[in-house]
Chain A
């Protein structure tokens, strides 16, 4: 009997075991998933909680419900992986031996990594939204906020869902307008990047959308610390930005057990081959989803596209064959822009987001890098698809590898 252990029952881990269980005969392979709790959060929904679109209950379901028969779920904290002897040690003293290990423990916001962030003003005038507690606290704050200086800030890349802070800004602008208080709010978007986004064409389109909404952009801002007494964020090169309400995306890091196990880079991401997701250091460890160091977005869409190919690669690898399904870094994201509209972007390791139609060239129905109502409906509809199609490993009508068809290269 060969043993597969999967660390993390989130988007990537759940999809992977649903795919793999079909191919790994139950009398030949055991599959065990480890997670610290049984709450599977639909993470794209967190962005909409502060605006009252979703309640927390609508975006959390039991992990167990999405795992197939024949997969054991162990609820425990992971102490570390001892890769030399192929063993996972849990903090409750249990151990799990494996033949193959898949690390799918994601990435998480770490407000403790920025001096001053969690001192005094945390969740009073400083909020994150990429946790259920943060999104809920921010919803309550926004409901009673009467205006002032709103600063939306990214500490450092990479972050989970790189477009989320832009979406938050668009949605906040629209929500203040709908409440008749937009003139009482000054919005500043603060980023360590040069512009609104990482890649030039999208950065120009999205930067234009910030300007249209009267949002000022402060680029190349690497935060040094936050002063909770003066309510100011201070950069390494000593620029200061005052705020009344700070919505921050803290430094994102992989799980601490990865560092304790000596398996991670400086942000606890597991270095892997970016085409196969196999660990550089260990021939029987893969890292999937946000947990790896692949140079593309940390996003559910990447997990989805990569796992389509990963499944075949894994099956080849465990039977001693070469892996023949290279991943190209394909990502796509709906970006809600407020007032019932949204955009869609589609890109990979080598090709930046470009305008055009998707997924059918020239037809759509979705438009790339341009606002439309249908893109917004696509985003809302995706929640159903996530729970009912995607997690269960059923086929989605979108190819895993990126296509240039229907796109216009503006460069």
Chain B
């Protein structure tokens, strides 16, 4: 696994830059990751990111857009507005979680 430096810290990432170690993430890092993909985090963004973090802790998989809608209460349309074009991927990237499976 490659290691990269973010905010003066060493973090483990995959080939596409998704963090691979759950506990290496914190909320400061989220701001850095978000700015890398051109997103300024608002309260609406944080609602989704905190849901993803909590959900991953219990389920062990990154939530899909549908799950963020039905369980997290944020409609898919709003997810697209907050994280344009590729919400599932961008949400996972900022939340420091593996890219969602998209299922095989």
A residues adjacent to B (C-beta < 8 A):
156-158, 162, 192-194, 198-199, 220, 222, 224, 236-237, 265-267, 271, 295-298, 331, 347, 411
CB neighbours of A265 from chain B (8 A): 67
B86 & A220 in contact (Cβ 8 Å cutoff):
yes
A222 & B104 in contact (Cβ 8 Å cutoff):
no
Band of interface residues on B: 20 to 34
B85 within 8 A of A: yes
CB neighbours of A236 from chain B (8 A): 76-77, 80
Apart from A194-B89, A296-B103, A411-B15, what are 9 other A-B pairs with CB-CB below 8 Å? A220-B86, A222-B65, A224-B77, A237-B85, A266-B67, A266-B71, A267-B66, A295-B101, A295-B104
A21 to chain B, nearest CB (A): 31
CB neighbours of B103 from chain A (8 A): 157-158, 162, 198, 295-298
- In the assembled complex, the Cα of A271 lies from the Cα of B59 at a distance in Å of 9
CB-CB nearest 10 A-B residue pairs: A158-B103, A266-B70, A157-B103, A198-B102, A295-B101, A236-B80, A297-B104, A198-B104, A237-B80, A266-B67
B76 & A296 in contact (Cβ 8 Å cutoff):
no
CB neighbours of A198 from chain B (8 A): 101-104
A354 to chain B, nearest CB (A): 13
B76 & A222 in contact (Cβ 8 Å cutoff):
yes
Of all chain A residues, the one with the shortest Cβ separation from B81 is A237
B76 & A162 in contact (Cβ 8 Å cutoff):
no
B residues adjacent to A (C-beta < 8 A):
15, 59, 61, 64-67, 70-71, 76-77, 80, 84-86, 89, 101-104
B37 to chain A, nearest CB (A): 15
Of all chain A residues, the one with the shortest Cβ separation from B75 is A236
CB neighbours of B86 from chain A (8 A): 194, 220
27 A–B pairs (Cβ distance < 8 Å), ordered by A: A157-B64, A158-B103, A158-B104, A193-B102, A194-B86, A198-B102, A198-B103, A198-B104, A199-B104, A220-B85, A222-B65, A222-B80, A236-B76, A236-B77, A236-B80, A237-B80, A237-B84, A266-B66, A266-B67, A266-B70, A266-B71, A267-B66, A295-B101, A295-B103, A296-B104, A331-B104, A411-B15
A162 & B65 in contact (Cβ 8 Å cutoff):
no
B12 to chain A, nearest CB (A): 17
CB neighbours of A267 from chain B (8 A): 66
A156 & B66 in contact (Cβ 8 Å cutoff):
yes
A189 to chain B, nearest CB (A): 16
- In the assembled complex, the Cα of A224 lies from the Cα of B65 at a distance in Å of 13
- In the assembled complex, the Cα of A1 lies from the Cα of B45 at a distance in Å of 55
- In the assembled complex, the Cα of A408 lies from the Cα of B104 at a distance in Å of 20
- In the assembled complex, the Cα of A295 lies from the Cα of B89 at a distance in Å of 17
B14 to chain A, nearest CB (A): 11
B65 & A347 in contact (Cβ 8 Å cutoff):
no
Of all chain B residues, the one with the shortest Cβ separation from A297 is B104
- In the assembled complex, the Cα of A403 lies from the Cα of B70 at a distance in Å of 38
B5 to chain A, nearest CB (A): 24
CB neighbours of B64 from chain A (8 A): 157
CB neighbours of A193 from chain B (8 A): 102
CB neighbours of B101 from chain A (8 A): 198, 295
CB neighbours of B104 from chain A (8 A): 158, 162, 198-199, 295-297, 331, 347
- In the assembled complex, the Cα of A265 lies from the Cα of B103 at a distance in Å of 15
CB neighbours of A298 from chain B (8 A): 103
Of all chain B residues, the one with the shortest Cβ separation from A280 is B59
A403 to chain B, nearest CB (A): 18
B60 to chain A, nearest CB (A): 9
Most central of B15, B61, B71, B104 by chain A CB within 10 Å: B104
- In the assembled complex, the Cα of A192 lies from the Cα of B100 at a distance in Å of 13
- In the assembled complex, the Cα of A296 lies from the Cα of B102 at a distance in Å of 10
- In the assembled complex, the Cα of A158 lies from the Cα of B15 at a distance in Å of 24
- In the assembled complex, the Cα of A297 lies from the Cα of B101 at a distance in Å of 11
- In the assembled complex, the Cα of A298 lies from the Cα of B15 at a distance in Å of 27
CB neighbours of A222 from chain B (8 A): 65, 76, 80
Of all chain B residues, the one with the shortest Cβ separation from A251 is B66
- In the assembled complex, the Cα of A62 lies from the Cα of B9 at a distance in Å of 62
B102 & A157 in contact (Cβ 8 Å cutoff):
yes
A295 & B61 in contact (Cβ 8 Å cutoff):
yes
CB neighbours of B76 from chain A (8 A): 222, 236
CB neighbours of B102 from chain A (8 A): 157, 192-193, 198
- In the assembled complex, the Cα of A347 lies from the Cα of B101 at a distance in Å of 14
- In the assembled complex, the Cα of A192 lies from the Cα of B64 at a distance in Å of 12
A193 to chain B, nearest CB (A): 6
B93 to chain A, nearest CB (A): 13
CB neighbours of B80 from chain A (8 A): 222, 236-237
